Amino acid sequence: MLYQRSSQLFAEAEKVIPGGVNSPVRAFKAVGGTPIFVKSAKGAYLYDEDGNKFIDYINSWGPMILGHAFQPVVDAVIEKAKLGTSFGMPTELETQIAALAVSMVPNIDKIRFVNSGTEACMSAIRLARGFTKKDKFIKFAGCYHGHSDSFLIQAGSGAVTFGTPNSPGVTAGTAKDTLLAKYNDLDNVAALIEANKNEIAAIIIEPVAGNMGCIPPKKGFLEGLRQLCTDNDILLIFDEVMTGFRLARGGVQELFNIKADIVCFGKVIGGGLPVGAFASRNEIMNHLAPLGPVYQGGTLSGNPLAMAAGLAMLLALDNDRAIFKRLEEKTAYLESGFNKVLKENKVDYTINRIGSMISIHFDANPVVDFQSAAKGDNETFKKFFHGMLQEGIYIAPSSYETWFITDALTYEDLDYTIQAVDTISKKF
């Protein structure tokens, strides 16, 4: 593959955009090389500026669960745009998508829309603090909840890929209220709660972690967190920005039958437009302005184009409930194919998968938390990433990311991908 035009475009971009990208995870810094500039995408495929075609396993980092340029979303956005692109006034559309989301997700009465996953998580923490009148919260090392100050403490995803899990610019005053726990370690959480009695407003967690590769919760871990929260008047916040409307119609709450107090959304809920949301029961949501004292707002929140895209996406997921089963089957097919060829080729690896989230760590030990995720062999990952690219397969340019499977993938695509993994891993 040649990336001549991408290289030129990147050189131009670097002059006027820091690192040439508007979000660090897009840079190929961790793997070397030049980011690919996309021209268009349709279904399971990306087309770049040099005319190369790739099978896409990132899908805009999650949103495109039904494939790129999904027709109902495209049509809805075009139709809405003709009627005006932003009003800063209420529209019927906002109530329609809110009602649909509330009907799909367990344990929520009300939902508020924002513009990103970051905003959703940031607002959820503020709401939890305002509701409980406590300041501290617990997050887990390797989990990523967006780039709001209080989350950039041992954060996953791009923050760890680029060596800044604790970003300069976050003050010590802010950091002191973020308590850090180990994923999948209940005793650690219990000890933190004990040491900070009556000071903790919330525990925020990716209920299936996706920002240190994919790490499912151990059996009993989420149930244990629920109990600890209930016993200590702490709100349990599920950051379902990745998992929401992906792992099940009602997200992880439905999948594992566990009640969270506040749920955050992003990615799929916007159908590929900038949308986030946070939701809870009335008692908590009524603390938000204008009903209550906790302030949160946004000029473009509930934007008609974004809401039209999100509504078309949620309707598609609601109307065809077999989608989640199909996604699971396709991802399980990939998993068993990868297992077969990686074992045959004697590679040290661990695959974690749940539903349509899957990742490969190049280390033979179980990957259950940030520490074990960090042991993955980055040199092997680099070879893997560039090998896949050469075969026309686009995966995230970092080993700390999950693959996002889309329903647009055919079994032919999956077989091709397994074959490519075989070819590449023979050369490790």
Of 130 and 266, the one with the shorter C-beta distance to ligand PMP is 266
Burial of 19 (0-12, 13-18, 19+ CB in 10 A): middle
In the complex, the smallest distance separating the C-beta of residue 82 from ligand PMP, rounded to whole angstroms, is: 27
* Catalytic option among 45, 144, 394, 400: 144
Stretch of residues binding ligand PMP (CB under 6 A), selected from 14-22, 98-106, 143-151, 186-194:
143-151
57 is catalytic: no
Count of residues that bind ligand PMP according to CB under 6 A: 17
Q: Of 39-68, which residues contact ligand PMP (CB under 6 A)? A: 61
Instruction: Write the single-letter amino acid at 421.
Output: V
Is 334 in contact with 419 (CB distance < 8 Å)?
no
The residues, ordered by sequence, that sit 6+ positions from 114 with a Cβ below 8 Å of its Cβ are 120, 123, 275, 276, 277, 278, 296, 298, 301
C-alpha pair distances (Å), 295 with each of 78, 94, 109, 153: 33, 19, 19, 24
From 242, 268, 311, 393, residue interacting with ligand PMP (rule: CB under 6 A): 242
239 catalytic, yes or no?
Answer: yes
Q: Is 262 in the site for ligand PMP (CB under 6 A)?
A: no
**String marking each residue 154-183 x if it binds ligand PMP according to CB under 6 A:** ---x--------------------------
What residues contact residue 316 under an 8 Å CB cut-off, 6+ apart? 66, 70, 72, 323
State which of residues 144, 370, 385, 404 lies at the interface with ligand PMP (CB under 6 A): 144
Among 48, 206, 261, 363, binds ligand PMP (CB under 6 A): 206
Candidate list 239, 369, 407, 413; residue touching ligand PMP; CB under 6 A: 239
Q: What is the number of the residue whose Cβ is closest to ligand PMP?
A: 117
Residue number, 216 or 266, with CB nearest to ligand PMP: 266
Considering the complex, state which of residue 130 and residue 251 has its C-beta at the smaller distance from ligand PMP. 251
What is the DSSP code (8-state) at residue 248? B
Which residue reads 């040649």 in tokens?
2
Q: Which of 48, 239, 363, 413 is catalytic?
A: 239
Residue (178 or 425) nearer to ligand PMP, CB:
178
| 116 lies in the binding site for ligand PMP (CB under 6 A) | yes
Angle between helices 304-319 and 92-104 (to 10 degrees): 30
The CA-CA-CA angle for residues 239, 104, 216, to 5°, reads 40
Kindly state the smallest distance separating residue 269's Cβ from ligand PMP, in Å: 10
Q: Does 241 bind ligand PMP (CB under 6 A)?
A: yes
357-361 and 235-239 beta bridge pairing: unpaired
Buried b (16+ CB within 10 A) or exposed e, 162-171: beebeeeebe
- Closer to ligand PMP by CB, 148 or 425: give it: 148
Q: Give the C-alpha separation, 60 to 249, whole Å.
A: 20
The catalytic position among 267, 349, 400, 413 is 267
Site for ligand PMP contains 121 (CB under 6 A): yes
118 binds ligand PMP (CB under 6 A): yes
Please give the Cα distance from 365 to 317 (Å, whole number): 36
Residue 401 binding ligand PMP, by CB under 6 A: no
Q: What is the spatial distance between Cα 241 and Cα 70, in angstroms, rounded to a whole number?
A: 20
CB distance 299 to 87 below 8 Å = no
**Closer residue to ligand PMP (CB): 274 or 392:** 274
Yes or no: say if 370 and 379 are a contact pair by the CB < 8 Å rule. no
Instruction: State in angstroms the smallest separation of the CB of 207 from ligand PMP.
Output: 10
Binding-site ranges for ligand PMP (CB under 6 A): 61, 116-118, 121, 144-146, 157, 206, 210-211, 239, 241-242, 266, 276
Residues designated catalytic: 144, 239, 267
